[in-house]
Structure formats: structure tokens, C-alpha cells
Amino acid sequence: MQANKLSSPVVSNQTQPYEKLAEVIQRHQEAPFQKPIASFNQQAFDQAEQRLAAHGGRLILDSGCGVGQSTRLLAERFPQHFVLGIDRSADRLERKLGKLPENAALIRADLVDFWRLAVAAQWQPDYHFLLYPNPSPKKKDFKLRWHGHPVFNYLVALGGQLECRTNWQLYVLEMQQALKLMGVTADLNPLNKIDEPLTPFEKKYALSGHQLWQLKAQIN
């Protein structure tokens, strides 16, 4: 592999889980997120709901799907499910890698709105994947991590088996603690064997020698 395609490890000025994590989680639980839903996201959700209804199967969410490689591979691995990939970047979605199976779709939307709409519609995915989210490694950017954002309540409310993968252990350590504070037990383990990378980032990080991490939680 060419050196210019290698990836540097995550560098952060934070070495331990955020010290105010419990305070943040409590505050977000006591004050539900009230930001108005953008019309664009409502339209995207309506389209996704139509696709899900047309398929008629159980749901898998691939949140922050990027170029859609993970959506395609998950749809191939779970042929009886409908796999919905969601990303807010039109550029990434237009660069989708490979033809999608009929049991998959890509939707452009902001997850902050989409998850809230999914909870309101009583969606209950069997699986929910968060693959290599932007770690926002600076301590001051904690609120930009999913577990630091008030919408995390809605992610948990969706239920199903949550799986988050990252090359930054601290990210999933914090998420594990956040889930525990919300009454959810999560397993956190090194991800050492990858038969087929789910995302281009997973492939790049593995080839760059990064330790990958996998968090799994069954949310009822």
C-alpha cells in the first residue's frame, strides 16, 4: 500500500473519558431535545418510510453510511432485512461503491432529525450500525460526539442491537459509560479479525496498523 494512503492514529488532548459525562447525560434526559425538524429531513424520512413499507421486512439502520459500502455489504449479509443507509453528505452518497441490492437504500438526511422522526414513527430496527463516526478528538468538542449530543436519547430509544466501530478506544469507552448511565450494558472488545472491511475507513485503518474497537449493546 502506498504510504500516502496510510492513516495517522487519532491524536487528542483528552486521555480519559469526559469527566462531566454523567452530568451531560442527566441534563439531556431531563431536557428533551426541542430543535425543529427541517423540512428537508422530513421529506427524506417520508421517502425512507415508503421504501421500508414497500419492502415489508425487518429494518437495519446504517447511520452515517458515507459512500454506502457498508449498506451494500450489510444488505448482502442480511438478505431478509431492509437496510437503510443514512448520511448528510450528498457528495459521499453520490460516490456509492457498487450497485445496491434491492433490499437496501441510501437516504440523504441529518441524523439529528432522522432519529427523532424514526422514534416518533415507532421504528424498531433489529440492528443499528455506527461505523467509524467522526471522533471529534478535541476535548472541547465532546458535545459533537453522538453520546455527548442530546439526540443520543433518541438513538437509545430506537432500540435493537447497536454496534459502533472506531479506531479511537476512548470514543467507545465514553459511549459504553453513557449507555450504562442510561441502563444499557454494552460489551467493548478489540476488533482483531476482519474478513471483509465494512467501510473504506475500516480498510484504511486496518492497513495502517490501527487497533480497531467494537462496541455492541442489545437495547430492548
User: In this structure, what DSSP letter does residue 185 have?
Assistant: -
Rounded to whole angstroms, the Cα distance separating 64 from 53 reads: 22
Q: Looking at the domain 18-29+36-219, which fold is it?
A: Rossmann fold (3.40.50)
pLDDT tens digit sequence for 50-64? 999 999 999 999 999
Identify the pLDDT of residue 59.
98
Q: Which residues contact 1 (CB under 8 A, 6 or more apart)?
A: 207
pLDDT tens digit sequence for 94-137? 986 678 999 999 999 999 999 999 999 999 999 999 999 987 89
The number of residues making up the chain comes to 220
Rounded to whole angstroms, the Cα distance separating 24 from 151 reads: 12
Out of 23-37, 43-57, 86-100, which region has the weakest mean confidence (pLDDT)? 86-100
Rounded to whole angstroms, the Cα distance separating 18 from 24 reads: 10
DSSP 117-184: HHHHTT---SEEEEES-----SGGGGGGSGGGSTTHHHHHHH-EEEEEEES-HHHHHHHHHHHHHTT-
Backbone φ and ψ of 65, nearest 5°: -75, -10
Domain residue spans of the chain: 18-29+36-219
